[in-house]
Chains A and B, each alone.
Chain A
Amino acid sequence: MSAVLGTAAVALGLAASLLGMLTLAIGLRKGNRAMLRTARSYVWLVLAGAVLATAAMQYALITHDFSLKYVADNGSRSTPLLYTITTMWSALEGSILLWALVLAGYIAVMARHFRDRASDPLLAWATLVALGVAAFFFGLMAGPANPFRLVAGAIPLDGPGPNPLLQNHPLVAFHPPMLYLGYVGFTIPFAFALAALITGRLGEDWLVETRRWTLFAWGFLTVGIVLGAWWSYEVLGWGGYWAWDPVENASFLPWLTATAYVHSVMVQERRAMLRVWNLSLLVATFSLTILGTFLTRSGVLDSVHAFTESPIGPAILVFFALVVAVSIALIGWRGDTLRSPGSIDAPVSREAAFLANNVAFAAFAFVVLLGTIFPLLVEAVNGDQLSVGAPYFNRMTAPIGFTLLFLMAIAPALPWRKAAAETLHRRLLWPAWAGTLTVAACVAFGLRGLGPLLAFGLAAFAGAAALRQLGVSVRAARRGGQPAWRALFGRSNGGMVVHLGVVLVAVGLAASSSYGHRAQFRLAPGESATLAGHSVTYLGTTVEDRGNKRTTSAQVRVDGGKVYEPALHQFPFGSQAIGSPSVRTGPLSDVYLTLVVPPDAAGTVVIGVNVQPLVVWLWIGGTVMGFGTFLAAWPGRRRPTATPGPEPVAVEPERTPAVVSS
């Protein structure tokens, strides 16, 4: 039954997307406003299709309907309910369904939000583009990635369950949906960008319309990436949180271009510059989400030649090529009208700092993209196998990271247009002292290494600069008779809160990657070992059969205090035992325990111990970034009360029409 309902729902979604596109196309061609308005109902049908298909899939999973191939391959009777629900995004077909659901949701919210403007051609085109993307994903489900395919032959009585790593930690219920809310959210600004190109309405109004959508998508993606790192740390057991794995890079690439965009878009709003560049960044962000799906879902990473074996790889690749080609053609076609009326006045100014920021982010994205696909390219060209791993990415991206921290420190202090030396002195002096004294204090406390010291110094510099900006806002709010908390809302203030989150993440990254210690100890019950000032005492082991797995847990006392239980899980269908680490989290350092070798005949185990400082600040920083995005997206008071920094005093109206009209 689920199969019938699901297949019908997918067909409904696909048909409604296509019919909606057709209606919009005809309405646009004939200038028929009534048709543009009717097209909105198709959006609700698309949403209905996606919701019904998801319901059918969840029903099939929860009722263990093994007549569905997806359930038979990924479900199991012994999997706990939570992981049965998350099984929907534990494999290819289901994650495409999640994608379609999120996309349909976004399109519906967009149609509802702009309901008064349904007959506006800009909006009609944007809806058409978004429905086109939806049609592609429903098409995938109707064809190569059908989640409702039936098993061939006899219906199995039970299945293997999802990948053991995906049923080990509740974060799996949050990380993928968050990530998808981010990924898919960029479809809306992308659709508006294409609509602006097609209609020729390339002024700044489509930017203003999609500003908040971009911010929300960016915030979800940020939180999704941090949750992914946290999941990796809590589940994978190697003690790290970021391995520059292609799957991680695929989520990080659109984040980089989107981060560049949320900065450079301010230059366009203020100065009407960088129009082509901003459109390109939106197109790049959206294309990179598609490319990421291709890289992670087509099997191309296992071998260049494997991906053609499943039809989904070529399908996504063709769609990616189509998106890039259409976008480039449109930008080329509108090239003349895109010429920016504004120009940079001085190399030391806010807009120049944003330009440098964009160059740095673009370089960052280029390095990550090159490192990710280089092995594929080399293998495709001459058949050689090589790997590009963490050492490459760390070395190549560290200088870019330092540059970005530096820019983050000075840019908020720079006024638009042109900065006077006096202004810089007044605004940067104490943040610069904060950075310098931080470095001096770290050295005095015996910390060594150029990389981490630079990172700490720049982080303190940037953090102090952000705090200073917030302080200015608070004082301005007080003067305006508003409560101080009001000064945290609005884009620039929320942005400063995001910067503080970035500072925390940078400190956590630098400290944990530079000053960590790791060791393995072979311990008999009652024996202790010491690493980096922390003692671990092995007490004993327990074995427990629980539902779908057999768990061997070691009891380890850390620093004479609480007992932690790193474990190994044996799943009936999994060949390899899956370790689950146990972490003592603290504000200064984490003690990360893994059970490497279960007890032998004499009861001796091997315990992996990993002591890393300041790891928890990565998660706190990620939370602050998410919170800051929320503050930034909150409808803020218009300037000048909320925004510190001088405004352009006099603009030339005929050269920067957008500034005047806004």
Chain B
Amino acid sequence: MSRRLNWGILALILVASLAVGASGDSGPPTEDQRVDRIADVVRCPTCRGLSAAQSDAPSAEAIRDEVRRRVQLGETDTQIKDYLISRYGEDVLLQPRSRLVWVLPVVGGAAAVIGLVLVLRQRRVRPGRKVSEADEALVARAMRSERVAQ
């Protein structure tokens, strides 16, 4: 099998599997899924650093019940979060609405990647040197023995 064909088949299987695997994500979420999704990003008011979905504390249970009630009433995620913010304050959300905290890493990351690409593209211009035949033979021999060792 040719090298290109081998990698091509590999890529095909990978993309197909991932496509099938990711499709399970779609479809309208059930009530439970929506409650979980919201409770996941809402802080349990009486614990430290845990979400309302993770905690067994009564306050977390109260939030889960309230979220479920509002989901059943047909409110959107945003409406429910707005309600929770009005009730508990802005810091009830574990995903802050402030843009800065999301944008900074993305901008920084992009800058770093661009910097990396620039560094990698910048090949040092080497002084043109004449390589002797003896040297080339030496390199070829070393490469061959390396291949055998592999």
List A residues at the B interface (Cβ < 8 Å).
237-240, 243-246, 343-347, 352, 355-356, 359, 362-363, 366-367, 370-371, 374-375, 378, 384-392, 395-396, 400, 425-426, 429, 432-433, 435-437, 439-440, 442-443, 447-450, 453-454, 457, 472, 476, 520, 579, 594, 596, 608, 644, 646, 649-650
Contact = CB atoms under 8 A, between A and B. Distances in A.
Nearest to B145: A646
A243 B112 contact: no
Contacts of A344: 119-120, 122-123
Interface string B15-28: 00110111111000
Contacts of A359: 112-113, 115-116
Contacts, number: 157
B51 A390 contact: yes
Given A363-B109, A386-B98, A429-B6, A450 B25 contact: yes
B120 A392 contact: no
B21 A387 contact: no
Size range of the interface on B?
35 or more
Contact of B43 (A371, A389, A400, A453): A389
Nearest to A237: B56
- Listed residue (B14, B115, B122) with the most chain A CB atoms within 10 angstroms of its CB: B14
A355 B120 contact: yes
A594 B150 CA distance: 53
Nearest to B100: A374
A77 B124 CA distance: 70
Contacts of A396: 102, 105
Given A374-B98, A649-B143, 4 more contacts: A245-B48, A440-B17, A644-B150, A650-B135
Contacts of B7: 425, 429, 432
Contacts of A426: 150
A238 B56 contact: yes
Given A359-B113, A363-B109, A238 B55 contact: yes
B14 A347 contact: no
B105 A367 contact: yes
Interface in B48-72: 48-51, 54-56
Nearest to A440: B17
Contact of B94 (A378, A391, A443): A391
A387 B94 contact: yes
A607 to B, nearest CB: 10
Instruction: Tell me the interface secondary structure of chain A in the complex.
Output: helix
Contacts of A362: 112
- Listed residue (B3, B89, B120) with the most chain A CB atoms within 10 angstroms of its CB: B120
Contacts of B130: none
B104 interface: yes
Nearest to B140: A649
Contact of B14 (A238, A356, A436): A436
B79 interface: no
10 contacts: A243-B50, A363-B112, A386-B90, A386-B91, A390-B49, A390-B94, A400-B109, A429-B6, A450-B22, A650-B139
Contacts of A370: 101, 104-105
A452 B150 CA distance: 34
Contacts of B6: 429
Contacts of A432: 7, 10
B50 A363 contact: no
Contact of B92 (A355, A387, A391, A425): A387
A649 B142 contact: yes
B56 A594 contact: yes
B40 interface: yes
Contacts of B3: 425
A243 B101 contact: no
Contacts of B48: 245
Contacts of A244: 49
A356 B116 contact: yes
A352 B105 contact: no
Interface string B28-50: 00000000000011010000111
A385 B18 contact: no
Nearest to A352: B120
A385 to B, nearest CB: 4
Given A375-B91, A386-B93, A389-B95, A443 B20 contact: yes
